[in-house]
Amino acid sequence: MTIASSTIPAPGPPRDATLPAPVERVLDNGLRVVAFSQRNLPLVAAQLVVGCGGAAEREDEAGLSALVAALLTQGTSARGATEISAASDALGARIIAASGYDASIVTCGATTPAFPQALALMDEIVRRPAFAPREVERVRTKSISDLALAYANPSALARGVAHRVAFGGAPYGHPLAGTAATLESLTRDRVAWFHERFYRPDDAVLVIGGDLETDDAFALAERVLGSWRAPDAPPGERPHGEVPPPRAQVVIVDKPDAGRTALLAGRVTIARRSPEYYAATVATAVLSGYSGRLNQEIRVKRGLSYGAGASLAARRQPGTFFATTLVDHARAAEATEVTLATIRSLADAPASDEDLVTRKATVTGSFFRAIETVDGIAGTLGEHVVYDVPLGEMQEYARRILEVDAESVRAFAASRLVPETFVVLVGDASRFAADVQRAHGAARIIDARRLDLGSPSLGG
């Protein structure tokens, strides 16, 4: 039997999510606590957001915040690395530490009866890390070998280069994971210094929620973290390099051993707090995803690549927009033109209603999936905290996305994505550099072997 295609039912009206409302308090030691209650399953999640990450590092200490975060779970004054994992497993808990540009984050999740002890273990990791020399060496060695692996990938290398092109020596310019040279030079003392200076209750926020009442969450936070004291010295001035003005430039990294050429077109855009954020998110969605314009133009219409997409990283300070794809070396010049023209198309004419409806649905759909779990809700609130966004915006997220109109998407693209879009190409330059320069004038060509992401000017 067959079912006629004309009988496909129309979608019903969309339903909204019921999200728990966050409540907040500040403990006497300055620690801000954000709590929510969602009691459908016996799980509690917490996220400690420390207000300093890679952006607080000096240029010559790139990778310091990442090294500190990686070492937190590798030993405390009371327990070694394996004892920490044994204690965590005994609680069925998950405790993970990582750093970003704007914050360092330690997450902790466990079932309801195990959670108080899991939070105490997280507190021990955050407040009393040992930074044993043996562990510092082990993590340093592993980080350096991870870097070598990561930069063998032309797409990862293109992102690193793009950060330098976009930000130069400003705080988001250097690689978060550091470079082999900076990692080699970091000492245990500097690790301990960063931790002592920046992991402090008066510059941290604890998000905690799930299967408990918010009052009980505050009481638990007070009991476990209430005795945490801030050091006398203030966190101090963070480095503030100047972000270079946007400039249409082409940077080519010649990497003849790359399988394909990584292409990235980008620009510094907006901060997360910007009123343009929701329009920016929809604009990015119009360009990305399988049905997004970039993939349609690059893969579906021209077969230039297996896929193409775009991402927006709005941060505490203006972050980046990147359009990315991976193409045959010989077609890199053509793909560059198509990518730039596709971005420009968004600035030239308003998107159709049909386009907007489906692309907005991808944004709200992934938001709803993210908040299915208590860790997801804690993480979403944590992002609001990191970027100084009012917490109430979480409840309004879907509505604000749906309210974005075609003109605000066009206006965002016309002022923030063009003009002065830069291009980074990482691949076998002999196959495309001449064509690219014919279209764009002189490009800067850097030999991959001499590329230095540790330098604002990229070395070479």
Partner 1 sequence: MTTVPTISASAIEVAPIRYADRTLSNGLRVLLVPDRRVPSVAINVAYRVGGKDDPPGRSGFAHLFEHLMFKGTSGTAPETMDRLTEDVGGFNNAFTSEDITNYYEIVPSNHLERLLWAEADRLASLTVNEANFATERDVVIGEYDQRILAEPYGMLDELVNREAYTVHPYRRGVIGSPAELNAASLDDVVAFHATYYRPDNAVLVVAGDLDLDETFAMVERWFGPIPTPSAPIPRVHAVEPPQTAERTCVFHAPNVPLAAVEEAYHIPEAAHPDAVALDVLETLLGSGRSSRLYTSLVYEQQVATSAYASADLREHPGLFGVRVTCAGGVDLATARAALAAELERVRAEPPGEDELARVRTQIASSVVRSRQTHGGVALELVRAATERGDPELVNGDLARYLAVTGEDVRRVANAYLRAENRTTVEYHPAVGSLRAAS
The answer to the question of residue 42 lying near partner 1 (CB under 8 A) is yes
What one-letter code names the amino acid at 247? R
The answer to the question of residue 288 lying near partner 1 (CB under 8 A) is no
The answer to the question of residue 395 lying near partner 1 (CB under 8 A) is no
Q: Which is nearer to partner 1, 293 or 416 (CB)?
A: 293
Distance of CA 126 to the CA centre of its chain: 22
Which helix H or strand E contains 71, and what residues bound it?
A: helix 64-72
Q: Quote the least distance from Cβ 121 to partner 1, whole Å.
A: 7
Q: Quote the least distance from Cβ 74 to partner 1, whole Å.
A: 12
Residue 50, beta-bridge partner list: 104, 204
What is the pairing mode between strands 261-268 and 422-427?
Answer: antiparallel
* Among 35, 67, 72, 114, interactor with partner 1 by CB under 8 A: 114
The answer to the question of residue 307 lying near partner 1 (CB under 8 A) is no
* Among 31, 34, 43, 68, interactor with partner 1 by CB under 8 A: 43
Going through 396-457 in order, the beta strands assigned E by DSSP cover: 422-427, 444-447
The answer to the question of residue 311 lying near partner 1 (CB under 8 A) is no
What character string, x for contact with partner 1 (CB under 8 A) and - otherwise, covers 223-252? Answer: ------------------------------
Q: Quote the least distance from Cβ 114 to partner 1, whole Å.
A: 5
Burial of 453 (0-12, 13-18, 19+ CB in 10 A): buried
* Among 141, 187, 227, 366, interactor with partner 1 by CB under 8 A: 366
The answer to the question of residue 152 lying near partner 1 (CB under 8 A) is no
Q: Which is nearer to partner 1, 137 or 447 (CB)?
A: 137
Mark out the alpha helices in 244-352 (DSSP H runs). Answer: 277-287, 293-295, 332-348
Rounded to whole angstroms, the Cα distance separating 385 from 32 reads: 10
The answer to the question of residue 120 lying near partner 1 (CB under 8 A) is yes
The answer to the question of residue 148 lying near partner 1 (CB under 8 A) is no
Q: How far is CA 217 from CA 98, 210, 259, 260, in A?
A: 23, 9, 52, 51
Q: How far is CA 419 from CA 247, 282, 293, 312, 423, in A?
A: 8, 19, 19, 17, 12
The answer to the question of residue 256 lying near partner 1 (CB under 8 A) is no
Q: Quote the least distance from Cβ 299 to partner 1, whole Å.
A: 13
**How many residues belong to the site for partner 1 (CB under 8 A)?**
61
Contact 368, 17 (CB under 8 A): yes
**Listed ranges 57-65, 249-257, 286-294, 403-411: which one lies at the site for partner 1 (CB under 8 A):** 286-294
Rounded to whole angstroms, the Cα distance separating 103 from 350 reads: 36
Q: Which of 459, 382, 430 is nearest to 100 (CA)?
A: 382
Rounded to a whole number, what is the distance in angstroms from the first to the last CA of the chain? 66
**Listed ranges 76-84, 99-107, 407-415, 429-437: which one lies at the site for partner 1 (CB under 8 A):** 76-84
The answer to the question of residue 18 lying near partner 1 (CB under 8 A) is yes
Q: Quote the least distance from Cβ 283 to partner 1, whole Å.
A: 16
Query: Using CB under 8 A as the criterion, which residues of the chain lie in contact with partner 1 when the complex forms?
Result: 1-18, 38, 40-43, 78-79, 82-83, 85-87, 89-93, 109-114, 117-118, 120-121, 289-291, 358, 361-366, 368-369, 371-374
